[in-house]
């Protein structure tokens, strides 16, 4: 399809779905079956999160992941695949879910205010809500579902991004056997951003079956891999492994994070190491005593007190919001790839960067306070490449890191 439509129309979607269901076993023809010497030493499972080599098979063999334009090799991450914006963006009156009886396109007929061509670039304004059809679509098979999430750099720019599907009743969740287009809801909260067709703000993981992920599993991982580099009791591990915040900055000269400057300039989402940090951020230092007071009008980048590790056999996700630990949201971008912070991938000592925004009222956050929980889920097999080892990574071995769009900060520490 040399000239893809601005919106994935019904006829175009049907054509792609027909392509996505091959009538014969193409694995034997393409030679993409597991090859000698490529098999991982780790145990394989019939259920779990799919690693990169299985995602590639879904693209090239089973066609469960398809696209209006060829999927690029660097879209594949160890346990996820990057999604690309399509050619148009719709400014809408409000966020929405289509519901079980409607497509996204049908809801856009009622809610869209303006249609914008972003083929060669378009500005998504701070405080506005947009719906963008993605280049990728899904044709999932039996017992296969998917989860969406913003990319790490998207979260660190405070761009609220969620995945939507036709007939969807939940954000960021793609039901089993879904067949159809994908859409991104995009709402910049702090900075206006320049995007274009092909820009990558979000990613998906594919899950096969419903693998167990219990508190006992998390306790075993902590015991065997020290996934959170701190002494925590078994009782503290419930609904995930607790992540505590650092507001002392003892290893960084008192620097504990950054606060976004209001009314800063435009950020081109595709420019890397381009912007001066001081134009968009101001440093936050440890308070002389007590905790850090979060202003509900501000957006903060902080870091976990302890290093985080993700074993090669697992993927992790940060629970974004838990009213039991306070009225604030932590970590818009919740995916942690296999190998993050792991010594096998050169990531020893990597801390989780926390994107923090208080709700409604000022809130005092204390050093060592639990601000979120990491849940770990096994992979069906260990990926051939880990985060930071064979896969280009911007945040391996990170401390308090801004997004990849900024030059290294020169703030005094």
33 within domain boundaries: yes
pLDDT in tens, 132-191: 999 999 999 999 999 999 998 999 999 999 999 999 999 999 999 999 999 999 999 999
| CA gap 373, 245 in Å, rounded | 11
2 within domain boundaries: no
Residue closest to 18 by CA, chosen among 206, 142, 179, 183: 179
- For the domain that residue 243 is a member of, what is the CATH number? 2.70.40.10
Q: What is the residue whose two structure tokens read 């508190």?
A: 215
Q: Is the pLDDT of residue 60 over 50?
A: yes
Q: What is the residue whose two structure tokens read 């015991």?
A: 223
pLDDT of residue 393: 58
* pTM for this model (two decimals): 0.86
402 within domain boundaries: no
Q: Is the pLDDT of residue 396 over 70?
A: no
Are 167 and 129 part of one and the same domain? yes
Band (pLDDT 50/70/90 cuts) for residue 202 is very high
Are 175 and 281 part of one and the same domain? no
Number of domain units in the chain: 2
Structure tokens at 113: 């205010």
412 within domain boundaries: no
- Among residues 191, 208, 225, which one ends one of the domains? 208
| 84-101 burial: b if 16+ Cβ within 10 Å, else e | bbbbbbbbbeeebbbeee
Are 219 and 331 part of one and the same domain? yes
Are 138 and 70 part of one and the same domain? yes
- Among residues 154, 173, 208, which one ends one of the domains? 208
362 within domain boundaries: yes
Beta bridge partners of 365: 292
Are 231 and 337 part of one and the same domain? yes
| 130-164 burial: b if 16+ Cβ within 10 Å, else e | bbbbbbbbbbbeeebbbbbbbbbbbbbbbbbbbbb
Are 135 and 200 part of one and the same domain? yes
404 within domain boundaries: no
Dihedral sign for Cα 117, 123, 128, 131, please.
positive
Are 229 and 176 part of one and the same domain? no
349 within domain boundaries: yes
Structural contact between residues 163 and 171, judged by C-beta atoms closer than 8 angstroms: yes
Are 302 and 375 part of one and the same domain? yes
Are 239 and 383 part of one and the same domain? yes
pLDDT in tens, 72-117: 999 999 999 999 999 999 999 999 999 999 999 999 999 999 999 9
Are 26 and 164 part of one and the same domain? yes
Are 204 and 229 part of one and the same domain? no
Residue 298 belongs to what domain range?
A: 215-391
| 261-300 burial: b if 16+ Cβ within 10 Å, else e | beeeeebbbeeeeebebeebbebbbbbeeebbebeeebbb
| 214-248 burial: b if 16+ Cβ within 10 Å, else e | eeebbbebbeebebbbbebeeeebeebbbbbbbbe
pLDDT of residue 57: 96
- Among residues 208, 223, 253, which one ends one of the domains? 208
Q: Is the pLDDT of residue 370 over 70?
A: yes
66 within domain boundaries: yes
**Cα radius of gyration (the chain):** 21
Q: Is the pLDDT of residue 412 over 60?
A: no
Are 225 and 200 part of one and the same domain? no
DSSP-H helix ranges across 198-311: 215-225
């Amino acid at each position: 399809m040399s000239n893809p439509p601005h919106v994935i129309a019904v006829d175009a979607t049907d054509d792609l779905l027909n392509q996505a269901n091959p009538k014969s076993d193409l694995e034997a023809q393409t030679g993409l079956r597991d090859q000698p010497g490529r098999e991982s030493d780790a145990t394989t499972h019939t259920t779990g999160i799919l690693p990169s080599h299985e995602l590639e098979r879904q693209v090239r063999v089973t066609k469960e992941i398809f696209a209006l334009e060829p999927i690029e090799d660097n879209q594949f991450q160890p346990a996820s695949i990057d999604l690309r914006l399509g050619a148009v963006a719709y400014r809408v009156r409000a966020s929405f879910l289509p519901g079980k009886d409607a497509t996204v396109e049908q809801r856009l007929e009622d809610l869209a205010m303006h249609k914008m061509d972003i083929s060669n670039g378009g500005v998504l304004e701070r405080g506005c809500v947009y719906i963008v059809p993605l280049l990728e679509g899904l044709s999932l098979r039996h017992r296969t579902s998917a989860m969406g999430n913003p990319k790490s750099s998207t979260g660190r720019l405070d761009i609220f991004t969620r995945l939507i599907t036709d007939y969807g009743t939940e954000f960021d969740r793609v039901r089993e056997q879904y067949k159809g287009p994908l859409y991104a809801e995009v709402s910049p909260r702090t900075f206006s951003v320049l995007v274009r067709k092909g820009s990558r703000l979000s990613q998906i993981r594919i899950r096969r079956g419903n693998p167990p992920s219990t508190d006992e599993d998390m306790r075993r991982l902590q015991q065997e891999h020290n996934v959170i580099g701190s002494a925590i009791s078994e009782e503290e591990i419930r609904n995930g492994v607790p992540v505590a915040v650092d507001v002392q900055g003892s290893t960084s000269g008192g620097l504990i994070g950054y606060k976004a400057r209001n009314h800063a300039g435009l950020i081109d989402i595709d420019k890397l190491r381009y912007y001066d940090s001081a134009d968009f951020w101001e440093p936050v230092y440890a308070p002389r005593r007590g905790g850090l007071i979060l202003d509900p009008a501000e957006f903060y980048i902080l870091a976990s007190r302890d290093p985080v590790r993700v074993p090669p056999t697992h993927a992790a996700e940060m629970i974004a919001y838990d009213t039991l630990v306070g009225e604030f949201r932590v970590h818009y971008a919740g995916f942690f790839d296999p190998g993050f912070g792991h010594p096998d991938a050169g990531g020893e000592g990597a801390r989780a960067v926390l994107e923090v925004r208080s709700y409604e009222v000022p809130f005092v956050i204390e050093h060592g306070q639990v601000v979120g929980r990491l849940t770990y889920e096994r992979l069906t097999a260990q990926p051939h490449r880990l985060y930071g080892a064979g896969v280009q990574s911007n945040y391996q071995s990170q401390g308090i890191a801004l997004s990849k769009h900024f030059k290294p900060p020169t703030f005094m520490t």
